[in-house]
Amino acid sequence: MTFPDIIQRFIVRHRLMRRDGFYLVALSGGADSVALLRALVGLGYRVAAAHCNFRLRGAESDRDEMFCESLCQTLGVTLHKAHFDTTAYAELHKISIEMAARDLRYGYFEQLAKAVGADGICVAHHRDDQVETVLLNLVRGTGLRGLQGMRPRNGRVLRPMLGVSRRQAQAYLDHLGQAFVVDSTNLETDAMRNKLRLQVLPLLEQINPAVKENVARMTENVREAGKVVEHATRQAISAIRSDNGGYRLKALDELPSPIYALRTILEWRGFNRAQLLEMLAHRRDGATWMSNHWVAVMDRDYLFVVERKAWERPLPNLVIPERGIYRYPAGPLTALADGAEETATRLRLELKNVDANFQIDPSATVANLDASLVKYPLVVRPLRKGDRFVPLGMKNSKLASDFLTDHKVPLLLRRRQLVVQDDRGDIVWLVGQRVDGRFAICPGKSSEALIIQLL
Looking at the fold, whether 283 and 326 belong to one and the same domain comes out as: no
Is the domain of 279 the same as that of 342?
A: no
Both 40 and 7 in one domain: the answer is yes
Going through 220-323 in order, the beta strands assigned E by DSSP cover 247-248, 288-290, 294-299, 302-307, 318-320
Considering the domain boundaries, does residue 231 fall inside one?
no
Average of per-residue pLDDT across 42-68: 93
Mean pLDDT of 260-271: 93
CB of 411 closer than 8 Å to CB of 297: yes
Q: What is the pLDDT of residue 227?
A: 92
| 295 and 147 in a common domain | no
Per-residue pLDDT at 333:
65
How high is the pLDDT of residue 186?
54
* Residue 234 is assigned to a structural domain of this protein: no
Residues 125 and 188 in one domain: yes
Tell me: pLDDT of 289 over 50: yes
My answer on whether 88 and 185 are in the same domain is yes
| Whether residue 180 is found in the same domain as residue 54 | yes
Burial class for 151, CB neighbours closer than 10 Å (0-12, 13-18, 19+): middle
Is residue 230 in a domain?
no
Flag whether pLDDT at 190 surpasses 60: no
Average pLDDT for 225-254: 93
Looking at residue 200, what is its pLDDT?
Answer: 93
| 252 domain residue, yes or no | yes
Give the domain-ending residue among 175, 190, 222.
Answer: 222
As a whole number, mean pLDDT of residues 200-205 equals 94
The answer on 267 and 338 residing in a single domain is no
Query: Which pLDDT band holds residue 189 (cuts at 50, 70, 90)?
Result: very low
Predicted confidence band of residue 345 (pLDDT cuts 50, 70, 90): confident
Is 80 exceeded by the pLDDT of residue 338? no
Residue that finishes a domain, picked among 277, 296, 311: 311
Work out the average pLDDT over 364-375: 92
53 inside domain: yes
Residue 283 in domain? yes
Residue 81 belongs to a domain: yes
348 and 303 assigned to the same domain: no
Query: Which tens digit of pLDDT belongs to each residue from 2-18?
Result: 999 999 999 999 999 99
pLDDT at 310 exceeding the cut of 60: yes
The verdict on residue 353 lying in a domain is yes
Closest CA to 345 of 374, 385, 316, 384: 316
Q: Among 311, 345, 365, give the residue marking a domain's end.
A: 311
Residues 258 and 331 in one domain: no
Residue 6, burial from CB neighbour count under 10 angstroms (0-12, 13-18, 19+): middle
Q: How confident is the model at residue 195 (pLDDT cuts 50, 70, 90)?
A: confident
Can you give the residue range of the structural domain that contains 384? 318-454
pLDDT of 105 above 90: yes
DSSP 41-76: HHTT-EEEEEEEE-S-STHHHHHHHHHHHHHHHHHT
Can you tell me the mean pLDDT for 124-148?
A: 92
- 163 shares a domain with 91: yes
Q: Is the domain of 322 the same as that of 302? A: no
**Sequence letter at residue 57:** R
Strands annotated E in 190-255: 247-248
pLDDT the model gives residue 339: 56
Total domains in the chain come to 3
